[in-house]
Structure 1
Amino acid sequence: MTIDAAITEASRSLKIAGIEQPAREARLLLAFVLDRPDSFIFAHPERELGTVEAERFGEAVRRRSLREPFHYIVGKREFYGLEFFVNPFVLIPRPETEIVVGEAIRTLEGLDRPRFIDVGTGSGCIAISILTNVKTARGTASDISVEAIRVARSNAANHDVLDRVDLLATDIFDAIGETRSDLVVSNPPYIAQIEIRSLQPEVREHEPKHALTDGMDGLRVLERIIRDAPKRLRPGGRLLLEIGAGQAGLVKRMFDERIWEDIHSIEDLQRIPRVISGRLSD
């Protein structure tokens, strides 16, 4: 079977499965199988696939047709200009989370040997992106999932920051020492349990539930982080939290204005408040 014929057949299968861009995903899956750039697929439509190549491509298309996330199939995801290994133990990094990273970098730049804590690190994408861009920083990254910490450790090693981050399998701050940090940052499970059923099957059926929802209203972990962060921050330190659409008002009201100041939201490109920022009073 030629590349062109394989793409045509795969596109048809993916379209039937409800994939929004079937031809594009078919090309990218074949490029992954062949370990070639996307441009190779366009340039060599008559190239014959070998038996093993055809079998591997067929398996990738089958998995995608079952709505397994594309990035789990290829095992990687680009985020903040870096490539991260991902698997079903960790949430796939989203573009909106790059807003959190940008704010974190701006917060830490210029500080003398800044320290930060990343709660619910997953793949490590937030912590590693910060460390890559703020060379003097040191971080602590926690996750309740031992498997997620393994993924984060692999990614930290791949990006040469393993010596600047402490990776802990713990619930929020539980096993983190008393050292005060300049920043606490988190992309917590903020989706309400009742909303899970309305998510795309890629998310609903394949991504780790504990990284999506607290099993209740989506606010419980946010509330715990806001409550406990002052014990982990230096005076003047900042808390950055990714939130869901429509949560900004509720989350802002969780901050005790007797100890927090400069509490504000930051919008994404769709003008949706996506990050809440607060500064611990001096």
Structure 2
Amino acid sequence: MGARLDGTVAVVTGASSGIGEATARALAGEGAHVALLARRRERLEALAGELGDGSSVHEVDVADAEAVARAIADVVARHGRLDVLVNNAGYGSMTPATGSALSEWRTMVDVNVNGVLGTTHAALDHLRRAATGERGIADVVTVSSVAGRKVSGPAVNVYAATKHAVGAFSEALRQELGTDHVRVGLVEPGLVRSELTEGQGAAQQAEAEQELGLMEPSDIADAIVYMVTRPRRTAVNEILVRPTEQAR
């Protein structure tokens, strides 16, 4: 018996590290050809070397909608289809609004919101077409955050706003595309070991690990794979995943 995603093609943004890297590995493990999108080519090439000939490398900044559209077109030209899109690329700057740089706010909007919009827009027609094929289903999964459900403190201000935005977009897209058999899912992680948490500083990370624990990127990849491997009749629209001891 083959893997559950044999013959499919998946695009993962932010694939050079963390959740994106773990998701690419997990999807490839289920038989998918995985297109790796991120800015850091060296890391993508190293990952592609692990995944084998079915993977491809696309050096792109998701905030550049034209570059993303070209990358998606390249994927479809190479493989002839696109079955799964994982919008994972993200950027976070957790500082109080007073004294924050406006450029940081704009970067969060450009990556977390406009990046999701641009990538999804470029992929939609291909996903709808794939859903008419033998498998009969296609998937869009966006990695959001617990902050997309609840503002847990003042420092998450713009980050939380971007995650609320993609949640609303995903829900509207779900309502629109269900009859086309394109499933739309949202995964909302709590604290995960990543460059974002590591960027908070060693002391803060050590405190978070001691008090709450940190999930591993593979924990979130598992949730994504669960979503996209359900039977055609079943759509999992949201998965909220927290460390066991994380209260909010």
Query: Of Structure 1 and Structure 2, which has the larger fraction of its residues in helix?
Result: 2
Report TM bin, short chain: 0.3 to 0.5
Q: Which has the higher contact order (CA 8 A, sep 6+)?
A: 2
Tell me which structure has the larger Cα radius of gyration: 1
Q: TM-score, normalised by structure 1?
A: 0.43
- The answer to which structure has the higher strand fraction is 1
